[in-house]
Structure 1
């Protein structure tokens, strides 16, 4: 009996994970670094990492709105302009995009591979 409960829980977790994966692919455009570079200057470039990560190095021109603060800082983002998101590897960007989409944002883009794959100019805080 306990084994069946465990199996059911695992199946449910896998189903939820697959749902989120396909939903994210539907609402979020993942861009290569080259594609990201072409469009981010005309968009809202948001680094969703925590402030210490941001201060350690970020894409030139990015604003830091950590995922942990995003819900309370939505007023800082415009719905009529594209939103370019990045984090360290992509997981937080995906979660941020899901949240933004629920709040009515539609032009959502993410840097493939996140900041750790970025080879362009960066800025650090001293």
Structure 2
């Protein structure tokens, strides 16, 4: 059993708020201290794992109690400032115009499977954030890829991970599917 130094209540919050609150809380901890994040957002596991990896913090694991996910992160003192590569963004409105103009687009949807199945953009490739590092080889490194999630935070983390693996043309769609008004399948 992990004993945290601090507990953050992020229950009832949807992406990106658990990450936003975690980031703010982590700044107040000393290196080596453990933060417990209590969340109900199913996507928070992949979100926190990717965020921890991109910032140098250590993801210690997740315990489940009913509908509550208890995530544990250890603060690392060496790399807490680095957020990774800056990924260019496109507004959802501009992206929607490209989709509706039937442009030949490579769209990567990094939401969890249940979110994707509720509705996604026709032709989007689905690779959940937690699988991006292992599966991004399914995409071509020289293609322009539009990365989308629910709000724009997971897609940013996915694009940062892909950039580290040599992908050069990545664009984060912001805010993401939560505000999408176009056709879905």
TM-score, reference length from structure 1: 0.75
Q: Counterpart of 1:109?
A: 171
Q: Counterpart of 1:119?
A: 181
Q: Counterpart of 1:87?
A: 149
Q: Which runs of 5+ in 2 are unaligned?
A: 1-27, 34-75
The alpha carbon displacement at 1:8 in A equals: 4.9
For the aligned residue pairs, the C-alpha RMSD in angstroms reads 2.4
Kept after mapping to 2: 8 A contact 1:43/1:81:
no
Q: Counterpart of 1:19?
A: 82
Report the structure, 1 or 2, having the larger strand content: 2
Equivalent of residue 43 in structure 1, options 95, 98, 105: 105
Q: Which runs of 5+ in 1 are unaligned?
A: 1-5
The alpha carbon displacement at 1:42 in A equals: 2.6
**Which one has more relative contact order, counting CA pairs under 8 Å at least 6 apart?**
1
Q: Counterpart of 2:131?
A: 69
Deviations 1:9-53 (A, max 9, x none): 49x77x83x531xx44x3x11111232134464332010011111
Kept after mapping to 2: 8 A contact 1:45/1:83:
yes
Between the two proteins, the alignment pairs up a number of residues equal to 112
Counterpart-to-counterpart distance in 2, 1:44 and 1:7: 40
Equivalent of residue 57 in structure 1, options 102, 119, 133: 119
Report the structure, 1 or 2, having the larger helix content: 1
